[in-house]
Chains A and B, each alone.
Chain A
Amino acid sequence: MGKTIIEKIIRNHTEDEVSPGQVVWMGLDVRSARDFGGPNVVKNFEREYGNSPVADIKKTFFTFDLCVPACSLKYADNQQVCREFARKQGIRVFDVDSGIGSHVLIEEGLAQAGTTVVGTDSHLNILGAIGCFGQGMGDVDITYAFKTGKTWFEVPKTLKVLIKGRFSLPATAKDLTLYILKELGTKKAALQAVEFYGEAVRKLTLSGRITLCSMVTEMAGIIGFIPEHDDSLRDEIEKLTGAGFSPVHADKGCLYSGQIEFDINGLVPQVAVPFSPDNVQDVSELKGIRIDTGFIGSCTNGRAEDLALAARILKGKRVKQGVTLKVVPATRRVYEEILERGILEDLFRSGAIISSPGCSGCAEGHIGLTGEGEVQVSTGNRNFSGKQGKGKTYLASPAVVAASCLAGQILSPEDL
């Protein structure tokens, strides 16, 4: 019997039999903890295993990204607890200057196609973008993974999603993602791996793939893979990571739990309305909603390509009086790239506030919360009530956020 991508990756990491529903012990190529969850991992580890070493320091990492540098005493303490443990154990820390952990793991070539990676980040399945099986877990799981290099996992079923048609600007990968989320909701892909096929996803760049795969979490899925790609994607990933790129493909005749097809020809910019990411509408239906602030960044849309797109719209213009625009690169390497390409300057001159890399606004961390009644349009992935303050958050693409900040209201870049 042929196997799906997730089944093949798991099979390469276990001695147990692999089929959907089967629970297996799975070897882990990377285990990581961030400044949320990390301190509990340290506490659990020392309580359960005393001063004994982690299984393999070369496969174990801390990635600080939620509150970087620490903006509360609690986080300052948390980070220090992890640092001290890391020093004692000889574990590498990607400290508060590095950026979003999942992105750092990609850039450093630590998360690779076909590998298994776990961490205390519920969006670690973003690693599906490069064909890696990433999974977020609680601190008990990660403690055990630090100690043993293994975890148990129930092999999920796989859903096949075929997307017909193509899209072009002003629609972007984020609009495609929000549209897919609208189609799948939180039930159709729940607890399953998803394989996305079709020309529109095959053409996605790394940044676009990251956007789509990050929001598989909001679809309640385990992980998303986009197996088909052009050569340009391989070049892009190999250049970025310095590592090879050979993703796992599904076998012919493998068994899917089902297949969903839809057509995205004519896709227009999409916006997720508060307070649920799958509450998605065409931007035109929301046109005219006055905004107070915009945010461009997060693990979903914090790559250089995302910031470059926003900068193209903002260049030579000025954010509307009374509106603030916050921009946060995903990682230090993204920061460097936008600096070198002049994107940083374009953003700055348009009035944007630009802060150091990390999760920032998305995680209730840096660069400001929203107050009661404040309306924010954000490139993040979640708009739950209270997540980034008391205000209302609309989710959109970097292009829509940039255009909306110029206009002071939600609109499509075409309407500027």
Chain B
Amino acid sequence: MDGSVVTGRIWVLSDQKGKLIEDIDTDQIYHNAFLHITEISEMGQHALNNLEGWKDFPQKARPGDIIIAGRNFGAGSSRQQAVDCFVSLKVGLVIAPSFGAIYFRNAVNSGFPILNCAELEEMVAQRILETGDEVEINFQTGEGKNISKADSFKVEPMSAVQYDIFKAGGLFEYGKLVS
């Protein structure tokens, strides 16, 4: 595998009514009470632990899982830990209709896969994507297959720049390749 295709089980970050939760900010993703932790391996256990209904996420998550979130995911502060906590859990990908601008940059720069998909709300409402589904997503083409439902869908692919940084393993590594 060249790393541009991932397969994983999805978690739809929805509220009790099944609606995608919007505006999940960095404090809900990774609370400032844990900012003193410097080991990435220890950050995973605090992922989403300030988000109502999802506090047990670190116990439920398995490596390779894919997170589906509502618009403006990662709003708020610029803390890198809100990305690193998912790296720590070996989450394979986060998809949302939009991200906080700095959050998106932080994820790209650390080589963590993150994708936009404007139609995500629609797809969740129509149950094209549900928690527990096994899906396969190609970062370069944006093609998605829902293996559990034998269905297909589209997300926005990575830009060339994002893909290059991702492949290199982060912005600093990328910089060493090009300089």
Q: Is there contact, CB below 8 Å, between A154 and B159? A: yes
Q: Is there contact, CB below 8 Å, between B165 and A140? A: no
**Complex Cα–Cα for A23 and B160 (A):** 8
**Complex Cα–Cα for A24 and B179 (A):** 17
A138 within 8 A of B: yes
**Complex Cα–Cα for A53 and B172 (A):** 16
Q: Is there contact, CB below 8 Å, between B106 and A24? A: no
**Complex Cα–Cα for A147 and B179 (A):** 10
Q: Is there contact, CB below 8 Å, between A140 and B98? A: no
Q: How far is the CB of A15 from chain B (nearest CB, A)?
A: 13
**Size category of the binding interface on chain A:** 20 to 34
A122 contacts which of B78, B98, B108 (Cβ < 8 Å)? B78
Q: Is there contact, CB below 8 Å, between A144 and B172? A: yes
A250 within 8 A of B: no
Chain A 14-51 interface residues, beta-carbon cutoff 8 Å to B: 22-25, 44, 48
Given A23-B161, A147-B175, is A140 in contact with B101 using a C-beta cutoff of 8 Å? no
Q: How far is the CB of A26 from chain B (nearest CB, A)?
A: 10
**Complex Cα–Cα for A136 and B77 (A):** 12
Q: How far is the CB of A173 from chain B (nearest CB, A)?
A: 25
A262 within 8 A of B: no
Determine the chain A residues whose CB is within 8 A of the CB of B175 once the complex forms: 48, 144, 147-148
B117 within 8 A of A: no
- Chain A residues touching B, majority SS: mixed
Given A147-B175, A191-B98, is A141 in contact with B105 using a C-beta cutoff of 8 Å? yes
Chain B 58-116 interface residues, beta-carbon cutoff 8 Å to A: 72, 75, 78, 80, 98, 101-102, 105-106, 108-110
Determine the chain B residues whose CB is within 8 A of the CB of A152 once the complex forms: 108, 161-162, 165
**Complex Cα–Cα for A25 and B159 (A):** 12
Determine the chain B residues whose CB is within 8 A of the CB of A140 once the complex forms: 80, 106, 109-110, 171-172
Please tell me the number of chain B residues within 8 Å of chain A, measured between CB atoms: 21
Q: Is there contact, CB below 8 Å, between B110 and A24? A: no
**Complex Cα–Cα for A190 and B179 (A):** 34
Determine the chain A residues whose CB is within 8 A of the CB of B101 once the complex forms: 191, 222
B136-179, CB under 8 A of A: which get 1 and which 0?
A: 00000000000000000000000111100100000110010001
A243 within 8 A of B: no
Q: Is there contact, CB below 8 Å, between A138 and B72? A: no
**Complex Cα–Cα for A222 and B179 (A):** 29
Determine the chain B residues whose CB is within 8 A of the CB of A143 once the complex forms: 172
**Complex Cα–Cα for A25 and B105 (A):** 13
B102 and chain A: residue at smallest CB distance: A138
Given A25-B161, A152-B165, is A190 in contact with B98 using a C-beta cutoff of 8 Å? yes
Q: How far is the CB of B144 from chain A (nearest CB, A)?
A: 19
Residues in B lying within 8 Å of A, measured CB to CB: 72, 75, 78, 80, 98, 101-102, 105-106, 108-110, 159-162, 165, 171-172, 175, 179
Instruction: Report the 6 A-B pairs with minimum CB-CB distance, sorted nearest first.
Output: A23-B159, A23-B161, A152-B161, A140-B109, A48-B172, A138-B78
Residues in A lying within 8 Å of B, measured CB to CB: 22-25, 44, 48, 122, 136-138, 140-141, 143-144, 147-148, 152, 154, 190-191, 220, 222
17 contacts between A and B (CB under 8 A): A23-B160, A23-B162, A24-B161, A25-B161, A48-B175, A138-B80, A140-B80, A141-B109, A141-B171, A143-B172, A148-B175, A148-B179, A154-B159, A190-B72, A191-B98, A220-B75, A222-B101
